[in-house]
Every structure is written in C-alpha cells, then in structure tokens.
Amino acid sequence: MSMVPLPGLREMIESISRERNLPKTAVQAALKEALLKGYERYRRTQRMDSGSFDEEYFANFEVELDVEEEGFRVLATKTIVESVDNPDHQIALQEVQEVAAEAQTGDTVVLDVTPDQGEFGRMAAIQTKQVLSQKLRDQQRKLVQEEFQDLESTVLQARVLRFERQSVIMAVSSGFGQPEVEAELPKREQLPNDNYRANATFKVYLKRVSEGSHRGPQLLVSRADAGLVVYLFANEVPEIEDEVVRVVAIAREANPPSRSVGPRTKIAVDTLERDVDPVGACIGARGSRIQVVVNELRGEKIDVIRWSPDPSTYIANALSPARVDEVRLVDPEGRQAHVLVAEDQLSLAIGKEGQNVRLAARLTNWKIDIKDSAKYDYDAEDQKIAAILAQKQLAAQEDFSDEEEDDFDSETEALESEVAAAEALETESPLPDETEAEYSDEEELDEEFEEEDEFEEDEEFEEDEEFEEGDLD
C-alpha cells in the first residue's frame, strides 16, 4: 500500500499536544479530518466536470495515519457492481475477481486510493492546514467546556493577561496543576474600585461556559455578581459553611448609575439556633470577618441584616442603618409598604441617590415608600389607599366579567356549531334501505296484529250472541 510521507509527524503531534494542552489522540483525530478535507479538495480539482458534490459524497473515504512510519494513506470503501457508474463509490466485478474469485455483486471492498505526493497539490495542502487549525480550536473548546461545565456558579482565582477593548482577558484554572484557560471579564462585570493591571490576581465568579464555536474566550467571569459576595462570606464564616447560619437573600449594586455613589450590598441572614447571632457571626470580632470581604471587594459597603418572617420587621431591618419608627403594610397583596422615620433619618433611610431604599426594596421584594412620621396624615393616606384598592377591585371584577362573557360566547358558538352539524348530518345522510325495510316490516306486523285483534273480537261477539240466545230459549 502506498503512503504519503510526513517527515516529523510524531514530533509535530507532541508539540501541538504540549502547546495547546490537548491529548495526542485528539491531535491525531483533528489531523485525520484535516487530511481528509485536503483529499476532498484534491478530488474536486480532479473531477471539475462532474459538477457539485453533496455533503455525503466523500463519506466512504477515510484517512489512516501511521505515526511510526510518519505518513498517511487514503482508503475508500467501494461497492462491487457489474457496470461502474461512479468510480469513487463503485468497482467492477471483473476487476475484483482477478484478485478474489469468490467476490460477488453487492459486496464491498476497501481500496487504497492514496495519491502521489506530487499530485496532492498546493491548494489541497493549504486546505489541510486551515482545517487542522480549526479542528484543533474545536477540540480545545470541547475540552474546556467539559472541564469547566461543573464549575459554573463557583469562584475561581484569576490572573490578568491583557486588555481587549473594554474587557479584561484573564487566565483561570480549574484546579491545582491544571493548565490555564482564558476567560473574559466584560466592562459591566467589573468593579469601579478595581485596579486591573498585568499579572494582578482577583477572585472571580464563573457565570457562563459558552457552547459552540465563536470567537473570543469561552468562559465569562464576573466581579459584580452577588454570588461572589455569598462565596466570600461562606469562605470566611464557618457557621455558613456548616449551615448553622444561612444566607436568605442578597441585593447588590456593584455598578451604581452615578459615579458619585459607590458599590453597596445588603445581605439577609438567619439561623435556627437560639444561641447563635447570625449578624454577629458574619461580622466577626471587631469586624474581622466582614473586613476580609470588604478588602477583597476593594472597599465596597456591606450591610448585614437579620431576616425575619414578619414583613414589617424585615423591612425595618433592611433599611439599616436608618432607625425606623413604624412600618405600615398598606397593600399586602400588592406588597406595598409605608415606612415612617424621623426627619433626621430621612436622608439616611433613602440613601445617596436612593441607593439604600432601592437595595432594601430589592432585598425584601416590597415596594417601599419613605415618609416623614411628623408629617404623615393617617386619614388622608388611608383614603388614598382605599381608593386605590377599590380601583383594583373594580378592575379585577371587570376582567372577571369579560372572561365570563368570552367563555359564554365561546360555549354558545360551540353549541350552535354542534346543532348545525347535526342538522346537516340529518339532511345529508338518509336512512339506508335495510332500515327502511325494517320499518316496513314492523308496519306489516302491526297491521297483522290489528287484523288478529279484530278477528278475535268478532268471534267473542258471536259467542256472546249465541250465549244470549241460548239463555232466552
């Protein structure tokens, strides 16, 4: 069997495997596919008069790679026929019987169709090189996806490599001793207080592992995701790791709409143990635990509050550090509340550009209105709330009546269509002959029964007359 020599094949496979962090088997598989594509290009140039080839035309060809002898050969599986129409897929029976006399029509044989090295052509070699690069990239992406798929929503250690537009390209690793993989940190996922410079290290949150082939890094990481804060607290607070203290909710604003407002986070914690203070456990002695988290987030403000099943208490805690006088749940179904605070606590409760109340609303999932307790008019507010609730109730009733009318109309239309279909069926399908015959037979039987009844009545009447006459005699 002929073979196209590839000097330095073994060294090339080892080099690619080492540089791209790919197993040798994956490199060999990519090289086989690339050589097959190059052979397809060679055959297309050889048969320009045959027109276009479909995708399955070269399905019977395969490349055999010989690493020991450093070369490759092309094999084709052909069907034995009496008369050859397509030499790429078929071979004549007479030609095969010269080698194997027992061959029959319909059998398949594997033939060596390796071209000479000079016939392979420059364009086929270029095609092979391009396909090889693409296949190697695809193999890398597949391995990265398999390696990091289970690490989504976890925190990794990252190192800054370079900058592309507004994104930071970082190197991350799935574990100790594993090769580094590039990840992208977009502008929207960066922290305003971070100083990204070459080789600087950060903890990042792995948000997504992209699938398919597309340009750019396959991993998307974040410094602004709330999951990063939860991980940092779990790493510093043993009670969270042991599930004695649990994180119930978190609201984070890592990139505020205004530069004058810094990033801030509110986190609600709770515990089922009576002897454990969840807030104190997260803060630590003299703030030692929370200070580690703040330093990692470059000075971000963090409010740790106690979760409560009572909405009023929970809302009051969420507005920390402001002191709340009263929380009125004006619309529990609509989750709307009025929070009354003293005049000197208004700015603190609202926060700079509304950040404090905005985060409290996101944390509790309630719509919060901050009111001055000294100027709050209970009667006027109650009237407003009553009017709003009445409007909502009226709108709900109108929607319900509209739905009932729609249901009634649809049921009426369905009933009318059924009646019309039944009438059309009666008019279009007359009774069959057998049924008519049965009806006619029944009518004849009725007439016979009537005649017999009349005959019996006549006999009884005659007998009565004879009886009467005998009595008279």
Q: Identify the pLDDT of residue 409.
A: 63
SS3 of 54-108 = CCCCCCCEEEEEECCCCEEEEEEEEEEECCCCCCCCEEEHHHHHCCCCCCCCCCE
List of E strands, 254-399: 264-271, 301-306, 326-331, 336-341, 367-372
pLDDT of residue 269: 97
CB atoms under 10 Å from CB of 255, counted, come to 16
Dihedral of the alpha carbons of 38, 41, 42, 44, in degrees to the nearest 10: 160
Number of helices (H), then strands (E), belonging to the chain: the values are 13, 16
Short-list 191, 192, 214, 203, CA closest to 160? 203
**Whether the Cβ atoms of residue 61 and residue 74 lie closer than 8 Å to each other:** yes
Residues of the chain with pLDDT under 50: 429, 431-440, 442-445, 449, 454-457, 459-473
**How far apart (Å, rounded) are the C-alpha atoms in residues 77 and 109?**
6
Q: Write out the DSSP string of 389-450.
A: HHHHHHHHHHHHHHHHHHHHHHHHHHHHHHHHHHHHHHHHSPPPHHHHHHHHHHHHHHHHHH
3-state secondary structure of 15: helix
DSSP label at residue 243 = T
pLDDT at 402: 63
Please tell me the distance from the alpha carbon of residue 16 to that of residue 30, in angstroms, as a whole number.
11
**SS3 state of residue 471:** helix
pLDDT at 44: 79
Q: Please name which of 201, 169, 166 lies closest in space to residue 182, comparing C-alpha atoms.
A: 169
Contact 123, 45 (CB under 8 A): yes
CA 185 vs. chain centroid, Å, equals 22
Cα separation, 270 vs 306, in Å, equals 6
Looking at the chain, the whole-number percentage of residues with pLDDT higher than 90 is 39
352 token code pair: 């700079």
Query: Around 29, how many Cα atoms within 13 Å sit in the side-chain half-sphere?
Result: 11
Q: Quote the pLDDT of residue 469.
A: 43
Q: What is the CA radius of gyration of the chain?
A: 44
Which runs of consecutive H residues, i.e. helices, occur in 189-333? 226-236, 238-241, 278-283, 288-296, 311-318
Answer whether 224's CB lies under 8 Å from 254's CB: yes
pLDDT digits (tens, 9 = 90+) for 182-229: 899 999 999 999 999 999 999 999 999 887 666 667 899 999 999 999
Query: Is 0.75 topped by the overall pTM?
Result: no
CA neighbor of 1 nearest in space, from 89, 58, 79, 66: 66
Largest CA distance in the chain: 148
Which of these, 393, 343, 391, 349, lies nearest to 369 by C-alpha position?
Answer: 349
At 255, give phi and psi (nearest 5°).
-125, 85
Nearest one of 211, 35, 77 to 138, comparing CA atoms = 211
DSSP assignment of 191-220:
-TT----TT-EEEEEEEEE--S--SS-SEE
Q: How far apart are CA 272 and CA 245, in angstroms?
A: 8
Nearest Cα residue to 144 out of 205, 223, 227, 212: 212
Closest CA to 324 of 368, 385, 359, 386: 368
Q: Which of 75, 76, 94 is nearest to 4 (CA)?
A: 75
- Residue 42 Cα distances to 48, 72, 266, 317, angstroms: 10, 15, 65, 75
3-state SS assignment for residue 270: strand
